[in-house]
Structure 1
């Protein structure tokens, strides 16, 4: 389990270092999704720092709604984006690995990610690494 306090600290520190502003945490406290988000606002856009509950991995994506909205929950794959300055600041935070959009949008090599359940991979059939690490599976 990822320490939520450490995730929050990494988001706040990285936002500050990149002249962004941490505006919200969206913590996954139900079965789905399996990831937390820290929303960082810049003058012209907002991005989400995402972290799976069970792996010390960080990435940057477009923000997603976690709570139910109109009886449904967003459940499609995240859209990963590259924000080089933010990724560099996140990489300076101890205890986390930062993955780029190109890695997350690339193929899943299950052997490289033993923390992802083989049964989930078989059942859900993720194609990309991002789909396997950041998902809405139940």
Structure 2
């Protein structure tokens, strides 16, 4: 519950993915990639994710760190919101998995929301989904809804 970044008013606060933990994992990933961290931007309203960039010999890699759960998505570039622009993670992303994050594949993120297990979503989250109408699991998990 709360994976969209929304909760019912009476529910406990959502968990938080500590930006310092995300940043440390990202620096470890940069070392594994033989690259450099170009930036790490903490989540700002209305986004429910932190974003980070690594540059290496293969180009630029942009990751989204979910602000409430240890989920990571890779995308082609920075945007305010995402629908189906998700990419498969680079091979060095196993470093992120090894420190406790779940790195999601493009296939998972681009899968239709209608085919996903949504049983844990709250009524408040469903109201947001009905309003914003995300088509993919990734667009539901990594959003900028207000």
The TM tier, using the shorter chain, reads 0.7 to 0.9
C-alpha displacement of 1:113: 5.4
- Residue equivalent to 1:69: none
Question: Alpha carbon RMSD of aligned pairs, Å?
Answer: 2.1
Say whether residues 1:24 and 2:34 are aligned partners: no
Match of 1:71 in 2: none
Q: CA deviation at 1:75?
A: 3.8
TM-score (norm 2): 0.76
Q: Name the stretch that deviates more: 107-116 or 4-13.
A: 107-116
Q: Which residue of 2 aligns with 1:79?
A: 85
Aligned residue in 1 for 2:18: 3
Cross-structure match for 1:124:
132
**TM-score, normalisation: structure 1:** 0.80
Structure 1, unmatched stretches of 5+, are 66-73
List gaps (5 residues or longer) in structure 2: 1-15
Structure 1 stretches of at least 4 aligned residues deviating more than 6 Å after TM superposition: none
Q: Take 2:64 and 2:82, find their aligned partners in 1: how far apart are those partners?
A: 15
Greater length-normalized contact order (CA 8 Å, ≥ 6 residues apart):
2
CA distance in 2, matches of 1:76, 1:59: 11
Residue aligning to 2:6: none
- Which is higher, the Rg of structure 1 or of structure 2? 2
1:87-124 superposed Cα distances (whole Å, 9 cap, x missing partner) = 32221122x21111110011222526538922221221
For the residues of structure 2 that align with 1:12 and 1:85, how far apart are their CA atoms? 15
